[in-house]
Structure formats: C-alpha cells, structure tokens
Amino acid sequence: MSSSDFSKPYDPKDVEPRWRARAEASGWYAARDVGAHEDSFCIMIPPPNVTGSLHMGHALFITLQDAMVRHARMHGKNTLWLPGVDHAGIATQVVVERELRREGLTRHDLGRERFIDRVWEWKRRSGDRIFEQLKVMGASPDWSRAKFTMDPDLSAAVREAFVRLHEQGLMYRANRMVNWCPTCRTVLSDLEVDREEPEAGRFNSELFSFAYKLSDGSGEIVVATTRPETMLGDLAIAVHPDDPRYRDLIGKTVRHPFVDREFPIIADAILADPTKGTGAVKITPAHDFNDFECGRRHGLGEITILNPDGTLNAEGGPFAGMDRFAAREAVKKALEEKGLARGSAPHNIAYALCQRSKDILEPTLSPQWYVKMQPLAEPAVKAVEEGRTVFVPEEWTKTYMHWMTHIQDWCVSRQLWWGHQIPAWYCADCGGTTVQREDPSACQHCGSAKITQDEDVLDTWFSSALWPFSTLGWPAETDALKTFYPTTVMETGYDIIFFWVARMMMMGIHFMGEVPFSRVLLHGLVCDENGQKMSKVKGNVIDPLDLVHGATVDQVIANAVGKRVSGDAVGLDAADRKKFLDAYPSVGKLPEGFRAFGADALRFYLGAHAPQSRKINLNLSRLQGYRDFCNKIWNATRFALTHIADVAPRPTGDFPTPHSLAERWILSRLAAAVEGVENGITQFRLDEATSAVYQFFWYELCDWFLELCKPVFDAGSDAEKASYKLTLAHCLEVSHRLMHPLMPHLTEECWSHLPDAIRRRRSDGVVPEALAVAAFPNAGDARRDLDAERVMGVLQDTIEGVRRICAELGIKPGAAITVRLRTADPRYAQTFHDYEGALRRLTRAREVVVEAPGERPRGVGYASIHGVEVLIPLAGHIDPAKEGERLEKDVAKARKESDGITRRLANANFIANAPAEVVEKDQARVRELTERIERLGDALAIVRELG
RNA sequence: AGGCGCGUAGCUCAGUGGUAGAGCACCACCUUGACACGGUGGGAGUCGUUGGUUCAAUCCCAAUCGCGCCUACCA
C-alpha cells in the first residue's frame, strides 16, 4: 500500500499527489452503459474553455459536483460525471492570433487552413492542461469519456442538429441589423454584448447638433447625434407627426452636404420623440437598430458606410478610408466649416462593447444565420412550469422565464475560422443554398458544381447547447443515451443561464423529446474578500492552484495582476501589492505567505458556503481554519491508530453494541452527523453538510469522546477497553466515509491506515479497494439515542461548570482541588460515579466526591447546573470578592432570562394563543431558573458573610 | 426604466414567528504523552432605518436608505 508513515503533521503535498496517482491507475470512476435509466446518476461537466486554466469558478463547481458525484457513487448508483472541454470559438481564436502577432503575423497571412492547423496544434499542446488541473482538485469524472466539442462525433452531432433545424424551417438566413465587432471582425449575439455604463457624475460622450438645409432653400432642420459620422448613411429625417415645430416640413427634402443625395423629412410616431434631442432624428437605416426598423417601415433602403474593420467605405465620400473615430472628428470639422454645426452638449450613453475585445460595437446590416426561437422556447417554458425541470434556488425560475418569453431569434453565425463551419453551400449559377449532412459536390437545386461553402462558423454555444446528448453519442440511439439521458443534475454558475442552460433546455426537448436534466443547481460567483468580482484589472484574481500548492505572497500577487514570471516575481510594483492587499486584508495575517492548503481544505472551504448565495467572498483566514481541520482529522486518526490496531471486528452488518453512556452518546451524535451530511448533499446545501461534519468530528468526537477514551485506555477493564476501541474505530471509519465526498484525498489516506477488521465490507464480504468505491454511511451505521444525549449533556455541563469556576476564580490547573457534586437524582449520581476518572482528568481535580444535597459549607466555589450543585471547597485560597462577583454574574444572567420568560407567561394572550408545548417549555425553564437563582442566592449570602 | 438579490459580532458568513449562531480575529489561562495547525474559560451584536400585521417580528407586509447584479433603452 502506498501510504505515508503518518509522520507528524498533516502535509497535503505528500498525501494528495499519491492518491491522485492511485485514482488515475484505477477504474473507480468508470460508469457503465447498461441501457437502463434506473439507478443512474449523471452530471455533465460544464466544459471549460480549451484556452482556460483553472480559476475559482472551476474550483467551486468541482467541489459541488464532485461531492454529489462521489456521494451518488458511494450509494451504489451507476454514476457518470462526464468531463469535456469547449473549443470556445472567439476566445481561442483570439489567443492564437495573439500568439501569431508576436511572430509578426496575422491569421490572414496564414490563410484559413493553415491557421486552423495552428489552432489544433495549440489545442494539442495545452488542451489537456485543464484536465490536469481538475485532477489536482480531486475531481472524479469518468476520464475515459472525455469529450471536446470539435471531436468528429460531436461535430457530426452539430451538423445533424443544424440540418434538422433547417429542414424544419427553424434555421434560416436573413439580412438584418447585427452587432459588429471591428476588432474581431465578426457578428456577436445579443448575449455577447457588454454594456458600459458611464461613471456617476461624468459624461462619456457628447450630443452633436447640426443642420440639414432644405432642398427648396426655405430653411434648415437641426438634428442631434452621438455618432456624427453616421450621417454619411442618412436616408431620412424623422419627426413626430404632432410636433408643431416640424409639422410643416413633413414631405420636404433636404440635401446632404457631403454626398450627392437628397432625402425626405418623414413623420414617424414610433421613433421620433419630441422631448429628445431636437425632436428631429436623422435616420441611418444601415447603422442603427431603431433606424433600421424605421427605414423598413418607410421603404428608405439602406446604405452601409463601414468596412468590416471599422473604416469608412466608398459611401463615405470625402471621408472614405478613414477610421470611424477619425471620420467622426473630420465630419464635425467639415460641418463647422460649412457653417452647419449647431453646437454640442455633454451626453451619456451606455456603450455596447465586445465581450472579448472590449471594442465599441457597430450596428451593421449583414446576412447571418438565425435559429427561430419561439417554437423552441415554448416547450422549454412549459417544462419548467410543469416542474419537469426545477431551478435551485428557485428564484432563478423567474429570470429564466422572463428571458424565454422575451426571446429574440438567435444569431448563430460568426465570422471566425475556428469552430464548426456552417454546412451551407451557395451556388454561383442559380444562387440556391444547399444544406446537408454530407459535403455536397453539386448544387441541390440546379446540379451546378460551382458551389462554395459558407465561410462562417457557428456560435460556440450552439455546440454547447447539444452537450447533454451529443456527448452520449447522439444522433445514434446509444446505450449511453438510454442509460444517462435525461441527466440528473445540471450544476453551473447563474451567469450562464441564458447562454447555456436555456439553450440546452430548448435543444434537449427539441431533439430528445425530454428535458436534458431534472434539476438545475446554480451557484454564485467567487469574489475577493471585499465582494469584488475577480479581474486582472483589479489585480484581485487568485489562482486556486496557488492555494492548493502554496506560494509566496508576491507570487500570488504576480498571478493576480497577470505578471506571471517564472522564478522571482519581477516587475511587481507597490501599486500591485496595494491593490491586492486591499482586496484581501486577511493576507496581512499570513506572515509566511500562502501555505499549501491542499485541495481538500480548499474544497471543504468552498463547500462551507451556502451554494445559493450570489457571492462567495474568498476569506483566507477561514480557509486556513479548514486546513487546521484537516490536520485535526489527521491527528485524531493517528492517535486512534496507536490504540485500535487490535480492534475486534464490528458485529456483522451492524454498528457496535454500545456498552456505556459515552459510547451511546457518540454513536447518537454520529447518526446526527450522517443525517446532516446526507441531507446537505442531496438538498444542495453543502454548507450544512460541512458544518455537520465539522461540528461532530472536532467538538464531539475529538473534544469529548477521544478524551473520554483516554481514562479507559489507561485504567479500564479489558472489556471496557475492547468496547471503547471498537466504538472509537467505528466512529472514525464512518467519519472517513462520511467526509470522503468533501475531502477525498485526506479521507482515503486515513481510511487506508485503519485495520481491516473495522473497515466496512461490501455485501460480498470484501473490503473495498478505496473509499471512492466504498459504501456511504447510512442508518445502519449509527442510531440516535436522545436519552443518552440528555444524560451526557448533564455530565458535559457539569464538567464545564467546574472548569468555569476554576478559570474565573483563578485556580491554577495544577492546584489540588476536590470537587463535590451534589445531586438527588440517582441517575446523575451513578453517571458521576461511572465517569469519576474522566471527571478528574477533564477538570484536573485531585478528587471528585459525589454526595447527596446538604448544607453548604463556607468557602467554596459554587455553581448550580440542571439541579446539580457543584462545590469546590477552597478554604484558605478563595477570594470572596471574586467568588461574589462570579455568583452575581450568574444570578443576573439567570434572572434576566427568567424575567423575560415570566413577562411573557404573564400575558394572557400568550397563554391563549401560543402552542401548548411552547408554554410548557417556558414554564419548565422558569422553574429551573427560579431554583437556580435561589441556590445561587444562598451561596452568595454565605460569601458576603465571609467578605 | 424594469427585474432580482443583499444589509445579522471587528471580519467572512449561516439562521429562525417564541429576546440570536459558526469560523476567524480579540482577552485571560494552559507548553497535559493525537494535534500550539492544540486545549480551557471569557468578552462582544437595539439582526440597515421607519411604520404595519401579530399575544410575540431579526424573520411576514409596506416604505425608506445603502450596496451589488441582471435585462432593456439612450438623437
């Protein structure tokens, strides 16, 4: 067995790579194509971009999905987590073009074929890097099924989908207004457009006014624009029909000052708004969405003035060849010179920017392919209305519905080279379009061989929309599809509901006849400590791998601002450091830099946040806390192993028969933890799962049960020892299985060290090869025992009471004290007797005496807990002033609580309306408090006499 | 402009119609043979503000302030 020697401190750098290697050599994560859907569990990994490297968003989805997947697998489900990467059209092409630019080349220098070869080469070089990084995080997908959206089979699925949609009249080509990016030289879908709002209190543009002279020489009409250069494409001026300023001008024409053109002043109540600008709008049908509509309404035609690169074409007349921004200034200047300028005013517009290049987009007229959305959207809306697909958290349902019911046709063609080329061929002879599955050799319509394929490729999201079934072999009717479609869960970020989730819903229902997944789980964004989105510009990006492997603060900052330098972090300046430290104040508390927190600690940390919160603000000191928890698990296991090597086998198929109160108690708490984790994982509340297990393991198993084991191991009878050993070993073993979906590496390592006798066997009696393929804990592993919890609670509170007296009276831990416990309850008395050794050990008392209630001697530290009186005689040592202060504090606390409840009980309306159990609980509590106050009062009186 | 979300301890976050919880941080004590990446004890919040519903509101409703996100428009 490859395992550590359990050398002292926990070291993830040692543990994690070893288990990663073992997992890779194993078949643990393989799913089976059984052809039957029952008992299957399937999640499709949201495919990261080939260009990408691991970021916090990936780390988060790996944590959430892997926990669900491991949990399902351990429950014996036929579990498929299918990994893959996306070709990410624009993103990848941009990266490769950037690389070319460093060699002084553009893609046009290479030509389409050689450029695509180049991208493939780049993909081969770096394409699997993201998988390696997923492995570092401990992800457990079925690697043998890894897919790439440009694989031959997935490309065939894309073409099949395109052709079918075309045959069904749902895929069509149209000449419409689109958002054009002059830098990327492609059209973008509405979703790929970013809006840049102006900063508060600042103007980002100006509204420039100028006059058109009327053709008949009778005057002029003044229009206003933020884009003066577009006037070169103007074909009308629109005014509101009821606007008295312009009513008489309707029907007249104006003369263009720079090109030989006359055009009319028209009435358009839809577009013209008398309250805006001058009330007269210049109409540029080819370069504005509203103007285009207006132009169509009035049959104005369109004049395109821009080249694809954003320079002006021949229509620009004297301005032809100029860049659009240069042309803007030139047009303004020319208008001034002609005496047509009418001033300008500061103005604000929300620029439409390219998501990739950040360039300002130009609305342009262009022929593109569209998918008709309405017939696809309707069933997808219905599916959610009927609950066949459910969103968690459910408030996203509204967002989905709103978008789906206001949906526009989807522009799916892109003027790129990297992607799935559109399977449409245009005939030079008859002008017809041939769309088919196999590359045609002749025009479908006239038989001509002079056909050329559409140059464009499909939007990346088109192939992504098919992901839940294209990855399972569609369009063939495969066993994989039968087994895993519809998938169980789709887990992803809320930021791609429209891009991806909605489109998968539509395509899944359309092509498969069934929703692609029954639950959509949406997680939030991982942000910096102050809640700011991570970005290179802000300098607050943290690479999860730095957290896993450890790094100096400077290295992390270098990554954050994108100044990754091998070796030293050269080039960092004070501003970079300040930006980063402002974003992460708690880094100041990590003097030795970032330790290797390990993938398990990072997973546990990410899992500890409510997944449905919109933001997860990265807090490094909290992460450190979970790293400490890993160490705690490590050490507890290490301690236990020194005692349980000879543990007896667990009674067949059941949990140990608990002999003592402490054992019954810890098994009961274990049952609670099992329940908490089970519910947490199945209800998409990993935070509740992590907290259940953290609470149990640290505060119950380690702080109490382990400590209660020690006196038994020291001085118990053989039978007692054997029993405690079994219970301890059992709790550990179940804990390891319980925590495995959250912390796969650490738990594998710890579990591998447990004696075979204690490890849960499979139904065939064989010890599983690893936790990854072991059974998840269930009701057979532990049982709640509320009676044990109650009595144990008294013992715990009594011990804590003694400690508090000692701490607050300043009694040194070494002092030889005698603790007297007085109770009239024989059950408690028996418990105190049974745990006399533990009581001494845990309170550091020399002697513990259990006795019946009686007169109180003078000079004692005193407390009253659950009717148990705790007395610590300290004749000679005690400071009456301190003891008095302590008792007064206790009395005040009890009185305050009691008063509050009494006030409530005095309210007749409360008695009449509140549920009976609430009233009874209150009454019982008041009785207890009254008794306590009485006894504390007596004690206080005696102390006052002394003082 | 419309929609959504958030505002709880110094920080990061859970939570509930019955007078509040965690981790970290803080204070004091303890180097006890799993762990100082530890143990013990302690302090700390008028649950953004104002109204309303209720016997009872941090929780439900309304308004308001502050922050964030999304969608749309912008001559």
Q: What is the DSSP letter of A45?
A: -
DSSP string, A526-570: EE-TTSPBP-TTTT----HHHHHH-B-HHHHHHHHTT---SSS-T
Phi, psi of A187 (to 5 degrees): -80, 155
Taking C1' of B13 and every protein CA, the nearest residue is A609
- Helix (H) or strand (E) holding A946, with range, is helix A916-946
- pTM of the predicted protein model: 0.90
Q: Which nucleotide is nearest to A530 (CA to C1')?
A: B12
Q: Between these two residues, A880 and A689, which has the higher pLDDT value?
A: A689
The dihedral through the CA atoms of A772, A775, A777, A778 has a sign that is: positive
Q: Between these two residues, A532 and A479, which has the higher pLDDT value?
A: A479
- What is the spatial distance, in angstroms and rounded to an integer, between the CA atom of A863 and the C1' atom of B29? 20
Half-sphere exposure of A89 (CA within 13 A, CB side): 24
Strand, helix or coil at A175?
strand
Classify residue A875 by burial, with Cβ atoms within 10 Å: 0-12, 13-18, 19+. Answer: exposed
| CA separation for the pair A681, A693 (Å, rounded) | 12
- What is the spatial distance, in angstroms and rounded to an integer, between the CA atom of A687 and the C1' atom of B24? 17
For A177, A267, A290, A649, the CA distances from A298, given in Å and listed in that order, are 16, 10, 13, 89
Half-sphere exposure of A729 (CA within 13 A, CB side): 27
Q: Which nucleotide is nearest to A695 (CA to C1')?
A: B22
Taking C1' of B67 and every protein CA, the nearest residue is A531
| CA separation for the pair A90, A119 (Å, rounded) | 12
User: Would you place residue A2 in the very low, low, confident or very high pLDDT band (cuts 50, 70, 90)?
Assistant: very low
User: Would you place residue A542 in the very low, low, confident or very high pLDDT band (cuts 50, 70, 90)?
Assistant: confident
Q: Which nucleotide is nearest to A907 (CA to C1')?
A: B55
- What is the spatial distance, in angstroms and rounded to an integer, between the CA atom of A904 and the C1' atom of B51? 24
- Give every strand in the sheet of A362-371, ordered side by side: A186-188, A171-181, A362-371, A410-411
8 Å CB contact between A303 and A233: yes
In this predicted model, what pLDDT tens digit does every residue of A519-539 receive, in sequence order?
A: 999 888 888 877 777 877 777
| CA separation for the pair A84, A96 (Å, rounded) | 20
Taking C1' of B71 and every protein CA, the nearest residue is A403
| CA separation for the pair A494, A609 (Å, rounded) | 16
- What is the spatial distance, in angstroms and rounded to an integer, between the CA atom of A841 and the C1' atom of B32? 9
| CA separation for the pair A724, A705 (Å, rounded) | 9
Two tokens, residue A297: 């309404």
- What is the spatial distance, in angstroms and rounded to an integer, between the CA atom of A22 and the C1' atom of B34? 27
In this predicted model, what pLDDT tens digit does every residue of A896-919 receive, in sequence order?
A: 888 888 888 888 889 888 888 888
Q: Which nucleotide is nearest to A914 (CA to C1')?
A: B55
- What is the spatial distance, in angstroms and rounded to an integer, between the CA atom of A589 and the C1' atom of B21? 25
- pLDDT of A490 reads 94
Alpha helices in A274-314 (DSSP H): 289-298
- What is the spatial distance, in angstroms and rounded to an integer, between the CA atom of A553 and the C1' atom of B13? 25
Two tokens, residue A175: 């000449």
Interior/surface letters A184-205, b for 16+ CB within 10 angstroms, e for the rest: bebbbbebbeeeeeeeeeeeee
Identify any residues that bridge with A362 across adjacent strands, giving them in sequence order.
A180
User: Would you place residue A873 in the very low, low, confident or very high pLDDT band (cuts 50, 70, 90)?
Assistant: confident
Three-state DSSP string of A810-877: CCCCCCCCEEEEECCCHHHHHHHHHCHHHHHHHHCCCEEEEECCCCCCCCEEEEEECCEEEEEECCCC
Total residue length of chain A? 947
- What is the spatial distance, in angstroms and rounded to an integer, between the CA atom of A52 and the C1' atom of B68? 27
Taking C1' of B2 and every protein CA, the nearest residue is A402
Q: Which nucleotide is nearest to A289 (CA to C1')?
A: B73
Taking C1' of B11 and every protein CA, the nearest residue is A586
- Helix (H) or strand (E) holding A411, with range, is strand A410-411
| Res A453 pLDDT > 80 | yes
Question: How many Cβ atoms are within 10 Å of A98's Cβ, its own excluded?
Answer: 9
Least confident range from A225-234, A465-474, A505-514, A557-566: namely A557-566
- What is the spatial distance, in angstroms and rounded to an integer, between the CA atom of A666 and the C1' atom of B24? 27
| CA separation for the pair A439, A740 (Å, rounded) | 50
| CA separation for the pair A86, A873 (Å, rounded) | 74
In this predicted model, what pLDDT tens digit does every residue of A339-351 receive, in sequence order?
A: 988 888 887 777 8
Q: Which nucleotide is nearest to A810 (CA to C1')?
A: B29
User: Would you place residue A274 in the very low, low, confident or very high pLDDT band (cuts 50, 70, 90)?
Assistant: confident
CA neighbor of A586 nearest in space, from A618, A629, A608, A539: A618
Nucleotides of B under 7 A from a protein CB: 3-6, 11-15, 18-19, 22-25, 28-35, 37-43, 54-56, 67-75
Q: Which nucleotide is nearest to A351 (CA to C1')?
A: B74
**C-alpha of A217 from chain center:** 65
User: Would you place residue A658 in the very low, low, confident or very high pLDDT band (cuts 50, 70, 90)?
Assistant: confident
- pLDDT of A1 reads 40
- What is the spatial distance, in angstroms and rounded to an integer, between the CA atom of A806 and the C1' atom of B24? 27
Q: Which nucleotide is nearest to A282 (CA to C1')?
A: B75
Taking C1' of B37 and every protein CA, the nearest residue is A628
- Strands A424-427 and A451-453, by their bridges, are antiparallel
Q: To the nearest whole number, what is the mean pLDDT of chain A?
A: 88
Two tokens, residue A20: 């990663």
Q: What's the rounded mean pLDDT across residues A784-788? A: 91
| CA separation for the pair A577, A571 (Å, rounded) | 11
Assembly ipTM: 0.93
Q: Which nucleotide is nearest to A281 (CA to C1')?
A: B75
8 Å CB contact between A373 and A407: yes
- pLDDT of A897 reads 87
- What is the spatial distance, in angstroms and rounded to an integer, between the CA atom of A391 and the C1' atom of B58? 28
- What is the spatial distance, in angstroms and rounded to an integer, between the CA atom of A914 and the C1' atom of B57? 15
Taking C1' of B68 and every protein CA, the nearest residue is A531
Q: Which nucleotide is nearest to A612 (CA to C1')?
A: B5
Q: Between these two residues, A271 and A437, which has the higher pLDDT value?
A: A437
Two tokens, residue A765: 């009696």
Taking C1' of B17 and every protein CA, the nearest residue is A914
CA neighbor of A692 nearest in space, from A718, A673, A667: A673
| Res A502 pLDDT > 60 | yes
- What is the spatial distance, in angstroms and rounded to an integer, between the CA atom of A509 and the C1' atom of B9? 50
Q: Which nucleotide is nearest to A801 (CA to C1')?
A: B41
- What is the spatial distance, in angstroms and rounded to an integer, between the CA atom of A523 and the C1' atom of B5? 13
Q: Please report, as a single letter, which amino acid is at residue A279.
A: G
| CA separation for the pair A183, A192 (Å, rounded) | 14
For residue A393, cis peptide bond before it (omega within 30 degrees of 0): yes
Two tokens, residue A591: 């003097």
Half-sphere exposure of A522 (CA within 13 A, CB side): 23
- What is the spatial distance, in angstroms and rounded to an integer, between the CA atom of A330 and the C1' atom of B45? 63
For residue A475, cis peptide bond before it (omega within 30 degrees of 0): yes
